[in-house]
Structure 1
Amino acid sequence: MRLNRSKGSLLRAISSNVTVILIAVILLIVNNKNVDLAKAEDPYRYFTWTVSYGDMYPLGIRQQGILINSQFPGPEIYCNTNDNLVINIINLLPEPFLISWNGIQQRRNSWEDGVYGTNCPIPSGKNFTYTIQVKDQIGSFFYFSSFAFHKVAGGYGPIRILSRPKIPAPFAEPAGDFTVLIGDWYSYDHTHLKTVLDGGIQIGLPNGVLINGRGLNGQSFTVEPGKTYRFRISNVGLQSTLNFRIEDHSMKLVEVEGTHTQQSTYSSIDIHVGQSCSVLVRADQFAKDYYIAVSTRFASTTLTSTAFLHYANSVTPATGSPPLGPTSQYDWSLNQARSILTNLSASGPRPNPQGSYHYGSINVTRTLRLSSSAGFIDGKQRYAVNSVSFVPGDTPLKLADHFKIPDVFRLGSILDYPPDALMHLGTSVMAADYRAFIEIIFENHEDIVQTWHLDGHSFFVVGMDGGLWSPASRRQYNLKDAISRCTTQVYPNSWTSVYVSLDNVGMWNLRTEFWARQYLGQQFYLRVYSPAESTRDENPIPKNALLCGRATK
């Protein structure tokens, strides 16, 4: 009995000591501000990218373009929900460079957003390492070069975020998963186009359409008869809505910018600039090659590019003409957009159903009406939101806010509604409260399709229609299963309304995806602020943050 009591005492002592050690380790981790417990269990993926100029021939003529690791388009980021991405960018361009992450929400981390309002560009010959967690996200997105009109020169690539195995997608695992980057393209080098814009002149219409960087020699996607394949399609272009279709094959839409959709079937689909989606295609036709066609919409001249769906046992090339796109204009596209809805029975990146977020029952605390405009200031072409044409400050706005540098921007420099005022220049920043639930109405009084994007958030597209918006328009809002996404179109002389929960502290860019307009001022920043200024709400400034402008002091 004495021996047993001694053993028991020894075991209790060992257990107590182990507990003390474990507590000490946990306290050590918690007290180390450089370690995030939420990230500790999630894998890290490391990338090293070298950015350089190189010759490319997307439209059959030599151009100077931006390559990443000597590739155009750039390498794919392939990851799972909650993975931590460590991306070292080495800038070998002779000028500064930035990359932004279209649709990656950067929870609590606008420090890594990659636009000039939040980050200093990477100097020539230097490097910068982004550290990003794809927290609670799935789906199809892309990255792009965001500084100095570089987007026109390339420097873009796909991002694919897969669901964790324990949270299956609401469809069977496809036999293959293809990335398709589509976009309009100019045959002029970006330095020439930038000079034209800097001179206050419009740059005109694009010269062609690319599919995965190719404009003339189409890519082939090989499929096995009877199997189903996923195509992740992103419009990485500069201004054009593009229609995507596959000859004699239907497409089942299953995902839009990280949201599982109700699985509607389409013969073709309009994808507006800056938008991404996923479709399932079943190889159920006679074994031959079929055209994949991508063409511009709503323009005086239709530009078309082709690729091929190649059956593995095919010996017959595609013949005849590529399939035609929709002949009707805006009504067809508007009706299709309204049919894209959230799949309420599917889980998202978390086990809980997405439909458990009853956005329609949340009280709206603020309404923003945003109206775009085009005009001349001092004889030069400019574009504006609520009459303010954005000009960058001498210091990135996020740094100026963090270091409390005066006179870089002024909160309230852009109003919540279109004022009765002339268009003017300004570094426009709008104040917003953390956790506010707001309504944004995008008003388009012009004869072109516009597309708008909000960094750091997704929003519910609750309504869109022609004519003028009024409070009575709310009667037609979808308050049940509207699609949640980060980029939405606004048709000519029409409006689009979205609901968004401002649950992400930071300095966030709200911009047009029509890139010449963005460059000439059609954007502003939304400062989502928490008075607690706690690291629970926003990560501390990274130790490797680049400093420029007045922040260098």
Structure 2
Amino acid sequence: MDKVMLLLLLCLWAETLCLVRGEDPYLFFTWKITYGTISPLGVPQQGILINGEFPGPNINSTGNNNIVINVFNNLDEPFMLTWLGMQHRKNCWQDGTLGTGCPIPPGQNYTYHFQPKDQIGTYFYYPTTAMHKAAGAFGGLRVNSRLLIPVPYADPEDDYTVLIGDWYTKSHTILKKFLDSGRSLGRPEGVLINGKNAKGDGTDEPLFTMKPGKTYKYRICNVGLKNSLNLRIQGHPMKLVEMEGSHTVQNTYDSLDVHIGQCYSVLVTADKDAKDYYMIASTRFTKTVLTGKGIVRYTNGKGPASSEIPEAPVGWAWSLNQFRSFRWNLTASAARPNPQGSYKYGQINITRTIKLVNSASKVDGKLRYGLNGVSHIDGETPLKLAEYFGLADKVFKYDIIGDNPPDALDKLTLAPNVVKVTFRTFVEIIFENHEKSIQSYNLDGYSFFPVAIEPGTWTPEKRKNYNLLDTVSRHTIQVFPKSWAAIMLTFDNAGMWNLRSEIAENRYLGQQLYISVESPERSLRDEYNMRDDQLLCGIVKGLPIPKPYS
């Protein structure tokens, strides 16, 4: 049987299975992870490619699709992918972090299977092992609304993914050695847009094309390692319509600050002179501003882009005010994040407040980052596997940090950092940043409500300033220097979930923790069983599989 016939039979089988079981549609992908030489800033370096591509393939899905990705690791080291912003309802096994599962060993494969249940929006994926993100293997992940659910704007002429990020010309192995030796990564060498930076000498091919008079959707994500970025398009205002899975009030902006891990969708209309224009991404809150450019070309364009680049805003107060202008579109019909009515978050009583303060210190002469005095370390046995096999006490201790940080944070303890949260409780988390640099935090498995960001330190009296009506539900929040941010959410998704700094250096050196949300019933209603093909490692390798949930 030839390969074409086999593929046709597999597709027919999948469609038949969906009809018989009444399941949502399936999307199948096969990805081969390899090394390859790339030169995005003109310096040859070792990249990590997916099916030979840098950046990786764009996943174009629809809400409730089953996404099945068979990943073959052809590297000489373990590899793992995470799907930033995917809520993985009842299914942290597919989260792709070292605390929830084992990485794919060299020469082996693993099939990720997840479903963006009741989700829409703009997301991306990236590797969580070593410093692989510094070499590529990231890409866009979009979840379109189902046809029966109206979208609060007209269908665009086309839909573009824009991956912006700072970039180092040093290899990912050298950067990892820097961190392992106790050094910081230092300053990146440039900024890329979809893996490129326009030379501006007239030879650049366009990243995007637009027909005169048409409106286009641009999905913008900051996939970088260290720097917040400001994005703008010469002469073209951007109408914000969605961020990280939520439709927004449609304000118009000349530029957007996009912090590490964050995603925005904007509409841009081609109503200017027919020529080329620069899309610009530049670093924010840095002494030396690094800039990346890409060409946006009108299809009937007859002129180069102007060399006059619009300036980015200065200072973080501007960025804070922009954050305050974001509002949730409460009238839009959509699959809302956090169902069961928790979008009415201002009417729910807080059952617990957890305050997290980040700090940096030297441990045995090496740089480490932490939360509440603990710098997280990953062991050979993933935390979720240890918990599932009933061996948690042999791998980690719950709640080694309290709900409030100690007075002194000049010393860090190295340990697995796991916080236990009661299932279906409504919790307030405060991120307090005493440092001079900006922070950016993501919580896997959830969307949350960022109700406030303010300068200074947090006190209970600050709650009177919260937006308890229409803050935008999202998965990543920035915390400005010497400031705090407050988020609220219902922990209704059972599993082991990673709360981490999206700044790669900070995450790698310990500024993260895991939140254990266990269902007391141990029921399939609340959480899926471990799959039969789950990779096992550490102390659970070779052990009998625990009795499954029912």
**2:9 aligns to what?**
none
Q: Distance in 1 between matches of 2:445 and 2:474?
A: 11
**2:283 aligns to what?**
296
Amino acid at match of 2:363: I
CA contact (8 A) 1:344 1:353 kept: no
**2:78 aligns to what?**
96
In the alignment, which of 363, 369, 374 is matched to residue 383 of structure 1?
Answer: 369
Where 1:484 maps in the other structure, the secondary structure is coil
**1:286 aligns to what?**
273
**2:138 aligns to what?**
156
- Residue by residue over 1:51-75, the C-alpha shift from the partner in whole angstroms, topping out at 9 and shown as x without a partner, is 0000000110100010000000001
How far residue 350 of structure 1 moved from its aligned partner, in angstroms, is 6.2
Where 1:464 maps in the other structure, the secondary structure is strand
**1:274 aligns to what?**
261
TM score, norm. by length of structure 2? 0.92
- Residue by residue over 1:140-175, the C-alpha shift from the partner in whole angstroms, topping out at 9 and shown as x without a partner, is 000001111111111100001000011021001011
Q: Distance in 2 between matches of 1:292 and 1:216?
A: 10
How far residue 484 of structure 1 moved from its aligned partner, in angstroms, is 0.5
- Residue by residue over 1:384-416, the C-alpha shift from the partner in whole angstroms, topping out at 9 and shown as x without a partner, is 000000011220001000001232011112221
- Residue by residue over 1:10-63, the C-alpha shift from the partner in whole angstroms, topping out at 9 and shown as x without a partner, is xxxxxxxxxxxxxxxxxxxxxxxxx99998420001000000000000110100
CA contact (8 A) 1:345 1:355 kept: no
Q: Distance in 1 between matches of 2:54 and 2:343?
A: 39
In the alignment, which of 98, 103, 113 is matched to residue 121 of structure 1?
Answer: 103
CA contact (8 A) 1:509 1:523 kept: yes
In the alignment, which of 453, 456, 461 is matched to residue 445 of structure 2?
Answer: 456
Q: Does 1:442 align with 2:406?
A: no
**2:192 aligns to what?**
210
- Residue by residue over 1:106-161, the C-alpha shift from the partner in whole angstroms, topping out at 9 and shown as x without a partner, is 00000110010001000100000011111010000000011111111111000010
- Residue by residue over 1:448-489, the C-alpha shift from the partner in whole angstroms, topping out at 9 and shown as x without a partner, is 111000000000010111011111100000000011000000
CA contact (8 A) 1:347 1:353 kept: no
Q: Distance in 2 between matches of 1:330 and 1:350?
A: 30
In the alignment, which of 514, 519, 533 is matched to residue 544 of structure 1?
Answer: 533
* Distance 1:352-1:385 versus aligned 2 partners, 3 A rule: closer
Larger radius of gyration: 1
* Distance 1:371-1:475 versus aligned 2 partners, 3 A rule: same
Q: Distance in 2 between matches of 1:189 and 1:435?
A: 43
In the alignment, which of 152, 174, 186 is matched to residue 192 of structure 1?
Answer: 174
Q: Which runs of 5+ in 1 are unaligned?
A: 1-34
Q: Distance in 1 between matches of 2:338 and 2:381?
A: 42
Q: Does 1:305 align with 2:305?
A: no
**1:77 aligns to what?**
59
Q: Distance in 2 between matches of 1:231 and 1:349?
A: 21
Amino acid at match of 1:485: R
Quote the RMSD (CA, aligned, Å): 1.8
Aligned pairs for 1:61-460 within 5 A = 61-217=43-199, 219-326=206-313, 328-349=314-335, 357-405=343-391, 406-421=393-408, 422-460=411-449
Q: Which runs of 5+ in 2 are unaligned?
A: 1-16, 543-550
Q: Distance in 1 between matches of 2:338 and 2:440?
A: 31
Q: Does 1:487 align with 2:469?
A: no
CA contact (8 A) 1:243 1:297 kept: yes
How far residue 239 of structure 1 moved from its aligned partner, in angstroms, is 1.2
TM score, norm. by length of structure 1? 0.91
CA contact (8 A) 2:442 2:502 kept: yes
Q: Does 1:499 align with 2:481?
A: no
- Residue by residue over 1:287-313, the C-alpha shift from the partner in whole angstroms, topping out at 9 and shown as x without a partner, is 111111110000010000111221111
* Distance 1:39-1:266 versus aligned 2 partners, 3 A rule: farther
How far residue 315 of structure 1 moved from its aligned partner, in angstroms, is 1.1
* Distance 1:524-1:355 versus aligned 2 partners, 3 A rule: closer
How far residue 346 of structure 1 moved from its aligned partner, in angstroms, is 0.4
Paired residue total? 518
Q: Distance in 1 between matches of 2:513 and 2:329?
A: 32
- Percent identical among aligned pairs is 53
Where 2:320 maps in the other structure, the secondary structure is helix
Q: Distance in 2 between matches of 1:358 and 1:38?
A: 37
Higher alpha-carbon deviation: 341-350 or 430-439? 341-350
How far residue 222 of structure 1 moved from its aligned partner, in angstroms, is 0.7
How far residue 220 of structure 1 moved from its aligned partner, in angstroms, is 2.8
